[in-house]
Amino acid sequence: CPPDCPGGSAPTLSAQPPSLSSTSSSTTSSSSPAAEAAAGSTGEQQHQLLDDLQYFQHHHHHDDDDDRYQQRDETSADTKMTRQQEQQDSAATKQRRGHGKGSRRRRKRLQDDPSLSRRLPQTIIIGVRKGGTRALLEMLSLNPAVVTAETELHFFNRDENFARGLEWYRQQMPPSRPDQVTVEKTPAYFTAPQVAARMAGYHAPSGGNVSALRLLLILRDPVERILSDYTQVFYNRAERGRECPPLRDFLLSRSTGRLRPDYKAVNRSLYADHMENWLRHFPRERLHVVDGDRLIREPLAELGRVERFLGLEPRISAGNFYFNATRGFFCLRDARRRRCLDDSKGRPHPRVDGALLERLRRFFREPNRRLFRLLGRTFDWP
Ligand SMILES: Nc1ncnc2c1ncn2[C@@H]1O[C@H](COP(=O)(O)OS(=O)(=O)O)[C@@H](OP(=O)(O)O)[C@H]1O
């Protein structure tokens, strides 16, 4: 458990009772002037906030650093699971599971059924890391018209993969019928600066039409997302027997005491900055934003919106979900099996002292409002 975190406490955002009703209305647009970010703060707080923002304006463009340790620490839970699985799975296990393009069963299915083939994705879940991307992908796959790539492919963000070309990308996809939608998710896409332009040049196949690509983005309270991101780094380090400094040490500059917008977890939560880049390359109507906090509490309602956006017949129903009180999350069931997400999801977050938390909240007020304006909708972030 991360520092200051009492073991076994429930995930912070599942405090409200979950619900499967699909009646709750979506939040509608509301925009406010950027200056409101500082409204309601005391003079001293405003001073601190302006300080943080000014520093931010000068420092907020950062390339990923090349520190290998850092990169390993930053690996997402899903990518890590994939790597572990790759190391552990013998070829035989893979075949039994039907994974991998070499699987005999899958090859046979592909040969026997001429309508089945591997298709480039028409829908991509672009992020955000720790937003609930795995839950969204797994829940979406409950609709029989959806097939999903099992692992994060990192095609558009990693040069070495992008250089392998679209045919390589297509080969990573699961077999599908022409009436099905293929979905891939790589949470790192949203915040990698080169991805939007690359994806805009990619034409998804759709019954002979081009440019049918639809993007899904799942966002969550940006401060909560930072805590989740830090928790991931904490556990990645613990697995290697390394200590993890308290979150405070990552968040605050040692020399100035200011918030560090260049700390990757903070930068990833500056959704408006990344969104501006995406909207330069994609029309707003091709992007649907899922509310990650609501997906936890009311998965059915959020999934219904996604089905509508993708033009799918609504096939996901209340019977596909059951609440697991031990995990504190909804788990999934369909005709074949019941499953919860793995243990790397829903771990307790560190407790952050009140003053630092308040400072983070104030820091994100302006970027959040900017995001609401860009998207034409709001979120219930504190
Ligand atoms: N049904 C269900 N079960 C378990 N977990 C759920 C579920 N729905 C959403 N979530 C939230 O998903 C968060 C992890 O997000 P990602 O899958 O995007 O993480 S990753 O970037 O792929 O590592 C994870 O964040 P943490 O709680 O911080 O671990 C969960 O809160």
129 CA: nearest ligand 1 atom: 21
Structure tokens at 357: 């938390």
Model pLDDT, residue 45: 55
Ligand 1 centroid–CA 341 distance in Å is: 8
Ligand 1 centroid–CA 292 distance in Å is: 9
Ligand 1 centroid–CA 198 distance in Å is: 27
225 CA: nearest ligand 1 atom: 28
Ligand 1 pocket mutation, candidates 130, 184, 221, criterion most atoms within 8 A of CB: 130
Ligand 1 centroid–CA 349 distance in Å is: 12
Model pLDDT, residue 72: 67
- CB distance 239 to 320 below 8 Å: no
11 CA: nearest ligand 1 atom: 27
Ligand 1 pocket mutation, candidates 20, 134, 151, 294, criterion most atoms within 8 A of CB: 134
Model pLDDT, residue 36: 34
Find the residues whose C-beta lies inside 6 A of ligand 1.
Answer: 11, 76-78, 129-135, 187, 228, 231, 295-296, 329-330, 341, 345-347
- CB distance 345 to 174 below 8 Å: no
**Which residue has its alpha carbon closest to ligand 1 atom 13?**
132
Model pLDDT, residue 105: 73
Model pLDDT, residue 332: 98
Q: Provide the 10 A C-beta neighbour count for residue 67.
A: 10
Ligand 1 centroid–CA 45 distance in Å is: 32
Ligand 1 centroid–CA 346 distance in Å is: 6
Q: Residue type for 61, please?
A: H
**Which residue has its alpha carbon closest to ligand 1 atom 31?**
346
Ligand 1 centroid–CA 290 distance in Å is: 13
Q: What is d(CA 29, CA 177) in angstroms, rounded to the nearest whole number?
A: 38
Helices 222-239, 354-375: crossing angle, 10 deg rounding:
120
- Grouping H, G, I as helix, E, B as strand and the rest as coil, residue 209 is strand
DSSP characters over 142-178? TSTTEEE-SS---TTT-HHHHTTHHHHHHHTSPEE-T
In sequence order, which residues have a C-beta less than 8 Å from that of residue 220 and are 6 or more positions away? 13, 128, 130, 131, 132, 228, 291, 292, 293
User: Which residue(s) pair with 288 in the sheet?
Assistant: 216
152 CA: nearest ligand 1 atom: 22
Q: Residue type for 371, please?
A: L
Q: State the alpha helices, DSSP H only, in the chain.
A: 43-59, 68-73, 77-88, 91-97, 104-112, 133-140, 159-162, 165-171, 195-200, 222-239, 247-251, 264-269, 271-281, 292-297, 299-309, 354-375
Strands (E), 186-244: 214-219
pLDDT in tens, the chain (382 residues): 566 554 433 333 233 445 665 444 333 333 333 333 333 445 555 555 544 444 444 433 332 332 334 566 778 888 777 766 655 554 444 444 444 455 677 677 777 788 899 999 999 999 999 999 999 999 999 999 999 999 999 999 999 999 999 999 999 999 999 999 999 999 999 999 999 999 999 887 764 444 479 999 999 999 999 999 999 999 999 999 999 999 999 999 999 999 999 999 999 999 999 999 999 999 999 999 999 999 999 999 999 999 999 999 999 999 999 999 999 999 999 998 999 999 999 999 988 899 999 999 999 999 999 999 999 999 999 8
**Which residue has its alpha carbon closest to ligand 1 atom 10?**
132
**Which residue has its alpha carbon closest to ligand 1 atom 20?**
130
pLDDT tens across 140-177, in order? 999 999 999 999 999 999 999 999 999 999 999 999 99
- CB distance 171 to 118 below 8 Å: yes
128 CA: nearest ligand 1 atom: 18
- Grouping H, G, I as helix, E, B as strand and the rest as coil, residue 51 is helix
User: Which residue(s) pair with 148 in the sheet?
Assistant: 183
Residue in the structure block whose two tokens are 């949470």:
187
Model pLDDT, residue 75: 81
Query: ipTM higher than 0.85?
Result: yes
